[in-house]
């Protein structure tokens, strides 16, 4: 995993995501989720590509049920893009063009 991807949870989600001055892509995942593991390298690459312009964080749903309930996460993986403390875009599941979809979400947020 990339050192640019920060793991956040119930205790620090507000400070790390909602109060961030830059857009934040949040990857909601779980250790048992095979599709979550499959997109891991893509999420890591995006963290490197957007370093300084946007942040990328991961939230383990098994360990952080409060955040999962707050944002009504029902399926994994779910990726939410936050800007100014609000959800700007959502991606649920892993379509074949996931890299392009996430890049488009981030490009719009940092423009």
pLDDT, averaged per 10 consecutive residues of the chain (111 residues), comes to 83 97 98 96 96 97 96 96 97 96 97 92
Asked if 33 is an active-site residue, the reply is yes
**pLDDT at residue 25 in the model:** 98
Choice among 25, 36, 80, 105 that is catalytic:
36
**pLDDT at residue 2 in the model:** 55
Asked if 102 is an active-site residue, the reply is no
pTM of the model: 0.95
Q: CB-side exposure of 95: number of CA atoms within 13 Å?
A: 10
Q: Domain limits at 72?
A: 5-110
**pLDDT at residue 4 in the model:** 86
CATH of the domain at 71: 3.40.30.10
**pLDDT at residue 3 in the model:** 66
Beta bridge partners of 86: 83
**The total number of structural domains that make up the chain:** 1
**Which of 64, 55, 39 is CA-nearest to residue 3?**
55
Choice among 30, 33, 94, 101 that is catalytic:
33
CB 1, CB 40: distance < 8 Å? yes
Q: Which strands sit side by side in the sheet containing 5-7, from one edge to the other?
A: 5-7, 55-60, 24-29, 78-83, 86-92
């Amino acid at each position: 995993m990339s050192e640019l991807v920060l793991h956040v949870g119930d205790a620090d989600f507000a400070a790390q995501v909602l109060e961030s001055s830059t857009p934040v892509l949040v990857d909601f995942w779980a250790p048992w989720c095979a599709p979550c593991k499959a997109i891991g390298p893509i999420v890591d690459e995006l963290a490197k590509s957007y370093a300084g312009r946007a942040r990328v964080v991961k939230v383990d749903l098994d360990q952080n049920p409060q955040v999962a309930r707050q944002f009504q996460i029902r399926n994994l993986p779910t990726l939410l893009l936050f800007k100014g403390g609000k959800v700007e875009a959502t991606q649920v599941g892993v379509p074949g063009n996931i890299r392009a979809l996430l890049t488009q979400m981030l490009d719009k947020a940092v423009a």
